[in-house]
């Protein structure tokens, strides 16, 4: 069965978008699981396909969608995701997230079916099946975080009958989807090698990534006991946070020991590229043509050949309250540059830009070859603090885990006052620690405060004027609703008049 045959399945199926990709050579062979998956090398080849869609999801648009329409950042960008100019007929980056996430689901389902039917021993199958399930779980994590309730399926689309059934699936409760994914991960993760991602050959998704996904989905479902159990497994693998240098959170530092999942990029001039463009919206702007001068300041590390786009900027709430100029927080010099750079002042008074965490030294054009940090160990420890806070059972434990992250950043320990103030401090600490790591909007939505906090703190009138409560999730593209025979819907958008 050729891969183009699969393209009519559930909204993974956007033929025009797929025709621009030259993936047929890579996937035709393993699109028939029973004939391709005959040895470990072929199984690995099939699993490699599960990573292909990531490069189309984690672009600068994903950064705009998840960070710039929040309480801590904004962007005066012509890309309309930045101003919430979204509707079912104009889903913006939602169209790519939907298409490529379901393409990832499709590849993972095919890989799982092929590995299951392969002649490998049951012992040899376990890590391979685990990787397929972990990557599928990641795509559903993205889908449910981005859209809320979405169609859920795990079958290999191998017949016309299955194809038709999948194409007409309605939204399924995100809570139920996460419960199913957690259950299937918990079934296999204990049997996999318990190792940090950086210790896995090729930095592939292993048990650490699986435990992190169990944690993330349990947090969305407010299942704090399951989250605590999963984080405990991560603690066994990763140990003490203070062994991991704070500088390693910079995107240019690839596959560092603290990382749990990174989007992999490479760039060679004139060679094969696997790059993206987040750095282009994270530099001081405007850039002087042919010089390493950015908003009037020379920044030699960025080089003369980079292309700077209209940038993301920190909100006044973030740069004035959470990470202000002169703070002792070690992350400040990584996350932001205030007023200027190495003694040079920006011509605009009060201008604060994204800092070297996101810069790609010597970038050519928009070819950003940094890896993008998606999951790190500090995130898990902050979620453990949040679990104890939300359960309101052990203030000492909640503060202990919060202070692990604060101490590494050079901040004083937090002292417990009450549960409400503790939760606010956890929200703020997640903003400081995970700034620009594709997390903030997801956090605000799962806390149920996205609309009120973004409206209060964005400081960007176009976002405030456009935003509606329905915008906490992206709309399902209209054409996918039509293709499903209206099994899918955008009722929340209709209720808001969009």
Q: 1-187+437-498: what fold?
A: 1.25.40
Q: Which residues, 6 or more positions from 434, have their beta carbon under 8 angstroms from its beta carbon?
A: 376, 378, 379, 382, 440
Q: pLDDT value at position 270?
A: 67
Q: pLDDT value at position 267?
A: 77
Q: pLDDT value at position 32?
A: 59
Rounded Cα distance between 293 and 312, Å, is 18
Q: Which residues, 6 or more positions from 465, have their beta carbon under 8 angstroms from its beta carbon?
A: none
Cα 47 from chain centroid (whole Å): 20
Q: pLDDT value at position 159?
A: 87
Q: pLDDT value at position 158?
A: 85
**Can you list the pairs that 494-497 forms with residues at least 24 positions away whose Cβ atoms lie under 8 Å?**
495/470, 496/468, 496/469, 496/470, 497/468
Rounded Cα distance between 162 and 303, Å, is 53
Q: What is the pLDDT along the chain (498 residues), one digit of tens a residue?
A: 333 323 333 333 322 222 223 223 344 444 455 578 999 999 999 999 999 999 999 999 999 999 999 999 999 999 999 999 999 999 999 999 999 999 999 999 999 999 999 999 999 999 999 999 999 999 999 999 999 999 999 999 988 899 899 999 999 999 999 999 999 999 999 999 999 999 999 999 999 999 999 999 999 999 999 999 999 999 999 999 999 999 999 999 999 999 999 999 987 666 667 889 999 999 999 999 999 999 999 999 999 999 999 999 999 999 999 999 999 999 999 999 999 999 999 998 899 999 999 999 999 999 999 999 999 999 999 999 999 999 999 999 999 999 999 999 999 999 999 999 999 999 999 999 999 999 999 999 999 999 999 999 999 999 999 999 999 999 999 999 999 999 999 999 999 999
Domain range list for the chain = 1-187+437-498, 278-367
Q: pLDDT value at position 24?
A: 31
Going by C-alpha positions, the residue among 448, 493, 437 that lies closest to residue 467 is 493
Going by C-alpha positions, the residue among 289, 293, 292, 436 that lies closest to residue 356 is 436
Q: pLDDT value at position 5?
A: 29
Q: pLDDT value at position 195?
A: 98
pTM of the model as a whole: 0.93
């Amino acid at each position: 069965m050729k891969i183009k045959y699969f393209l009519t399945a559930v909204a993974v199926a956007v033929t025009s978008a797929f025709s621009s990709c030259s993936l047929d050579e890579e996937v035709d062979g393993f699109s028939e699981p029973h004939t391709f998956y005959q040895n470990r090398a072929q199984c690995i080849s099939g699993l490699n396909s599960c990573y292909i869609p990531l490069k189309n999801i984690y672009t600068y648009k994903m950064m705009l969608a998840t960070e710039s329409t929040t309480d801590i950042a904004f962007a005066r960008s012509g890309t309309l995701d930045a101003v919430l100019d979204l509707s079912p007929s104009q889903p913006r980056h939602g169209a790519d997230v939907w298409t490529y996430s379901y393409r990832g689901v499709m590849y993972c389902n095919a890989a799982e079916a092929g590995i299951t039917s392969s002649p490998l021993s049951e012992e040899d199958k376990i890590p391979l099946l685990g990787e397929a399930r972990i990557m599928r779980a990641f795509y559903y994590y993205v889908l449910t975080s981005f859209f809320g309730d979405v169609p859920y399926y795990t079958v290999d689309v191998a017949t016309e009958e299955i194809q038709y059934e999948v194409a007409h699936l309605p939204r399924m409760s995100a809570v139920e989807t996460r419960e199913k994914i957690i259950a299937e991960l918990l079934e296999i993760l204990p049997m996999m090698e318990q190792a940090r991602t950086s210790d896995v050959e090729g930095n592939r998704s292993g048990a650490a990534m699986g435990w992190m996904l169990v944690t993330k989905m349990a947090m969305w479902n407010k299942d704090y006991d399951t989250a605590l159990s999963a984080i405990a497994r991560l603690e066994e693998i990763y140990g003490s946070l203070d062994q991991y240098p704070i500088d390693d959170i910079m995107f240019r530092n690839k596959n560092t020991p603290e990382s749990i999942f990174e989007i992999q990029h490479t760039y060679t001039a004139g060679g094969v590229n696997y790059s993206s463009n987040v750095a282009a919206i994270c530099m001081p702007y405007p850039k002087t043509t042919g010089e390493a001068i950015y908003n009037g300041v020379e920044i030699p590390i960025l080089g003369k050949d980079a292309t700077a786009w209209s940038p993301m900027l920190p909100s006044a709430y973030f740069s004035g309250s959470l990470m202000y100029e002169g703070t002792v927080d070690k992350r400040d010099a990584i996350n932001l540059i205030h007023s200027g750079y190495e003694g040079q002042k920006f011509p605009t008074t009060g201008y604060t830009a994204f800092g070297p965490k996101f810069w790609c030294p010597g970038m050519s054009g928009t070819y950003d070859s940094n890896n993008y940090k998606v999951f790190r160990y500090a995130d898990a420890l902050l979620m453990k603090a949040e679990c104890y806070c939300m359960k309101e059972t052990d203030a000492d434990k909640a503060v202990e885990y919060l202070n692990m992250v604060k101490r590494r950043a050079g901040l004083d320990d937090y002292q417990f006052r009450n549960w409400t103030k503790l939760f606010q401090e956890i929200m703020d600490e997640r903003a400081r620690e995970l700034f620009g790591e594709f997390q903030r909007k997801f956090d605000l939505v799962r806390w149920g405060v996205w609309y009120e906090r973004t409206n209060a703190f964005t400081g960007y009138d176009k976002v405030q004027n456009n935003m509606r409560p329905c915008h906490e999730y992206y709309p399902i593209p209209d054409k996918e609703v039509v293709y499903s025979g209206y099994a899918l819907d955008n009722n929340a958008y209709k209720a808001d008049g969009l």
